[in-house]
Amino acid sequence: MTKKTDTVVIGAGPGGYVAAIRAAQLGQKVTVIEAEHVGGVCLNVGCIPSKALITAGHRYQEAKDSAFLGLKTKEVELDFEQTQKWKNEKVVKTLTSGVAMLLKKNGAEVIEGRASFTGKNSLAIQTKKGPEKLEFKHAIIATGSRPIEIPGFAFGGRILDSTGGLNLKKVPKKLIIIGGGIVGSELGGAYANLGSEVTIIEGTPSILPNFEKDIQQLVTKKFQQRGLQIFTDAKAKKAEETANGVLVEFETKGKTQKIEADYVMVTVGRRPNTDDLGLERAGVNVGDRGLVTVDEQYRTTTKSIFAIGDIVPGLALAHKASYEAKIAAEVIAGKNVAKDYRAIPSICFTDPEVATVGYTLAEAKEKGIKAKTANFPMQANGRALSLNATEGFVRLVFEEETELLLGAQIVGVNASDLIAEITLAIESFLTIEDIALTIHGHPTLSEMVMDATEVGLGLPIHM
């Protein structure tokens, strides 16, 4: 028997479940097909659980070393089994069950299974109970991505992807991470704070290669103070399991080295999940690197089918996928909407945190814009001092003539939250004077944004 629906959403991650809810809110009969877990990678084995482990690492370090506050602890123990239980049951389960409830509340039917297109308006679904058929008027593909496996490091046993790295039963005494990008640096910092001896092997000249040099240097310095060992310009060659761990061979500066650890985690990037969907049967064009070709409304080369998230060009970020989800769902509902944003924030939850949005100074100049920067240091902010978190800065990028805000780079405590104000300012075409004239609460970290604008105006109060 063939089921019928108005809109089918393939994948229930931050793109898929948001698309399904918005489509249902706008009057569509919605069916969601999810192969693994509602909430997708982000909620189950990505963004959310990794932040839980990062928080646990911070709390552990604070408990061990708060003598500067007059807080003295004789002995601090880490029960990692309890940490994982809290992460899985109180954080992940709470969020994923909440998403499932929201889908149900909005009338979206969820089918557990794997979907593949059989035509431009039809799907075959493989479920645990057997095959099903579904006909639809519109489809939104939100199948996300998976970790890249590199030669010599086949996943299994003590060779982990990020999912395996998040679900270890014990904190490893020694951990090797291949890839020092955002995921590798976040998890490397988390496990170092939890007590592991962490080694990061990165193929480029620095960890966090997509951020500016002074940001890379600041995070690297803090990592090294925490005891992390970092090899850059290095090529991982192979890993071999030993009696008690895994031996990793890599090459750096023309020399081959070997390091043994309990586990090796490979975090060199992700690839889109588009290869097993039968997209060719639906007339959907797939371009470079498996990414689906879409227009400004996220419509594919087949008018009735849309694609969002990690499987389309652009940054592979959960919040980008959620934005795209709303656009696609609203287009299907007949609204005249399209992609319309000036900047997307990018965040890395290392220690210290990093957050950027819009242009860097170099990018602005590449676009032919005469731009300037204004920096304000964390150490000059009262709230940062009271948090004992004075490493880092707020840097604003603005057009020299008009003082229009173009971008920002923040490194330091709560950078992930501070970037929101600047993102809104860029979207609203505000100048640095507009922010300078806005009263900010005191004492807060957000005052640094105001202080940075005053530096840019040549009228700094706190510098």
pLDDT at 74 (0 to 100): 85
Considering the four listed CATH numbers 3.40.50.300, 1.10.1740.10, 3.10.20.30, 3.50.50.60, the one that applies to the domain covering 159-268 is 3.50.50.60
Instruction: Give me 45's structure tokens.
Output: 């084995």
* CA–CA dist 110, 108 (Å, integer): 6
Binding residues for FAD: 51, 143-145, 310
pLDDT at 131 (0 to 100): 96
pLDDT at 288 (0 to 100): 81
Residues in the chain predicted with pLDDT less than 70, given as ranges, are none
Q: Which of 202, 206, 259, 263 is nearest to 235 (CA)?
A: 202
The mean pLDDT value of the chain amounts to 97
Binding residues: 51, 143-145, 179-186, 202, 269, 310
Amino acid at 195: G
* CA–CA dist 225, 177 (Å, integer): 18
* CA–CA dist 141, 12 (Å, integer): 10
- Nearest-10 Cα torsion for 300, 306, 310, 315: 70
Q: Encode pLDDT of 287-324 as tens digits.
A: 989 999 999 999 999 999 999 999 999 999 999 999 99
pLDDT at 1 (0 to 100): 79
To the question of domain 2-146+271-332 being in CATH 3.40.50.10860, the answer is no
pLDDT at 353 (0 to 100): 98
Considering the four listed CATH numbers 3.40.190.10, 2.30.30.830, 3.90.870.30, 3.30.390.30, the one that applies to the domain covering 346-456 is 3.30.390.30
Q: Is 436 left (phi over 0), alpha (psi -120 to 50) or beta?
A: alpha
Domain ranges in the chain are: 2-146+271-332, 159-268, 346-456
Q: Encode pLDDT of 153-182 as tens digits.
A: 999 999 999 999 999 999 999 999 999 999
Marked catalytic residue, from 319, 440, 442, 462 = 442
pLDDT at 270 (0 to 100): 97
Active site residue 440: no
Q: Which residue has the tokens 């731009």?
A: 371
Q: Encode pLDDT of 384-416 as tens digits.
A: 999 999 999 999 999 999 999 999 999 999 999
Binding residues for NAD(+): 179-186, 202, 269
CB proximity list for 353: less than 8 A, separation 6 or greater: 347, 410, 411, 412, 413, 414, 415, 416
pLDDT at 384 (0 to 100): 98
Q: Do domains 2-146+271-332 and 159-268 have the same CATH topology?
A: yes
CB proximity list for 346: less than 8 A, separation 6 or greater: 210, 315, 317, 355, 356, 357
The conformation of residue 380, written as its DSSP 8-state character, comes to G
